[in-house]
Amino acid sequence: MSSPRDRKNSCRAGPGTVGTTVSGANGRSELLAVRQRSGFECPVRRRSSACSYFAPGAQAEDVSFSLKLNRSIFIITLRFLLAIDMWLSKRLGVCACEESPWGSIRPLVRLVELSGHVVPWLLGTVYSLLRVDTVLEQEVMLNLALALLLDVLLVRIVKTLVRRRMPSQNRSDLLATYFVERYSFPSGHATRAVMCARFLLARLVDTSSMRVLVLGWAALVSLSRLMLARHYVTDVGFGLAMGYCQYSLVERLWVTWKHMQDVLLMLLGETLYTSAGRSRKP
């Protein structure tokens, strides 16, 4: 039979030794081994439980939640800014129709709108290119014509990509049907006004009074787009920035008259060579 001391030691062995009998020196050594194992196992279990909070699945869930939260905040901010844009554009459309608050000056505003259209500018530029005498003036008119064509191309590309509809209060009159684009972003009149204004100020205008007149014209053309409810405020603002950058591009790609003559002679030579080769064939 086991002594009371052995029974006491066997009871102190902990949960891992319940239901086992220990006796003598062997029992004491087994008890010490069990205690040592339990002492080494506990920190390991604690570490594993603490590390379970940083499992890969939990990290992925935290990252996806933060991305969804940032995306929702961005969407809410964007919708808020678009709502302000629509409200402000509606307030500025004071000449959208004859019944508008400033409907009486609508014909005058439409005249300002027509002055910024690409058709009058192209016709005037081509006429000036044919009428000027000096090579320097011809070079300036040539680059202005190329700048207008570049403006039409870039605005068309951006409008086709964005496809933003015009404001709902825009009235489809005769001018809007044949001379105004169907899409709204960006404003082609705003891009053209700023680009032509920078071009004139840098190449043709040299007096302070004419500078003020050119800047005032560009501002009125841009404002007419809002007063007639043709565009939103963001359309005009982006158009102004785009037109400013377009003239910087025109300056970098400036075509000299000599370079243009070389290109024309090269094209003419290729045409003559091709026609001569065709005439030699039996």
Q: Is 259 a catalytic residue?
A: no
CA torsion, points 185, 186, 190, 195, in degrees to nearest 10?
A: -170
Check 106, 110, 159, 189 and give the catalytic one.
Answer: 189
Catalytic residue among 184, 193, 231, 246: 231
189 among known catalytic residues: yes
Task: Tell me the one-letter amino acid at 87.
Answer: W
What 3 state SS string does the chain have?
Answer: CCCHHHHHHHHCCCHHHCCCCCCHHHHHHHHHHHHHHHHHHHHHHHHHHHHHHHCHHHHHHHHHHHHHHHHHHHHHHHHHHHHHHHHHHHHHCCCCCCCCCCHHHHHHHHHHHHHCCHHHHHHHHHHHHHHCCCHHHHHHHHHHHHHHHHHHHHHHHHHHHHCCECCCCCCCCHHHHHHCCCECCCCHHHHHHHHHHHHHHHHCCCCHHHHHHHHHHHHHHHHHHHHCCCCCHHHHHHHHHHHHHHHHHHHHCCCCHHHHHHHHHHHHHHHHHHHHHHHHCC
Identify whether the C-beta of residue 227 lies closer than 8 Å to the C-beta of residue 104.
no
Give the catalytic positions in this structure: 189, 231
